[in-house]
A = this chain, B = another copy of it.
Amino acid sequence: MAVTSTRVTRAERQAQTRERLIEVAREMFLSDGYAATSLDKVAVRAGFSKGAVYSNFAGKEQLCMAVLDSIHEEQIEGVVAAFSQDTDLDGRIEAFAAWAREGLGQPRWTALEVEFGAIARQSPYVATELVKRHREIRAAIAELVRQVTAEAGLGDTVDADQAATTLLSLGIGLGTLRSLDNTIDVGVFADTMRALLKSSKL
**Does A10 interact with chain B (Cβ within 8 Å)?**
no
**Does A77 interact with chain B (Cβ within 8 Å)?**
no
Partner of A199, one of B33, B36, B135, B195: B195
Contact of A191 with B202 in the complex, beta carbons under 8 Å: yes
Contact of A168 with B173 in the complex, beta carbons under 8 Å: yes
Give the bracket for the number of chain A residues in contact with chain B.
Answer: 35 or more
**Does A85 interact with chain B (Cβ within 8 Å)?**
no
Contact with B along A29-51 (1 / 0, CB 8 A): 00111111000000000000000
Chain B residues lying within 8 Å of A111, measured Cβ to Cβ, are: 117-118, 121
Q: Is the interface of A mostly helix, strand, loop or mixed?
A: helix
CA–CA, A122 and B35, complex, Å: 10
Partner of A172, one of B31, B36, B134, B176: B176
CA–CA, A196 and B195, complex, Å: 7
Q: Tell me how far the C-beta of A4 lies from the nearest C-beta in chain B, rounded to whole angstroms.
A: 47
- Residue on B nearest A31 in the bound complex, by CB: B121
**Does A24 interact with chain B (Cβ within 8 Å)?**
no
Q: Tell me how far the C-beta of A158 lies from the nearest C-beta in chain B, rounded to whole angstroms.
A: 11
**Does A143 interact with chain B (Cβ within 8 Å)?**
no
A→B interface (CB under 8 Å): 31-36, 111-112, 114-115, 117-122, 127, 130-131, 134-135, 162, 165-166, 168-174, 176-177, 179-181, 184-185, 187-188, 191-192, 195-196, 199, 202
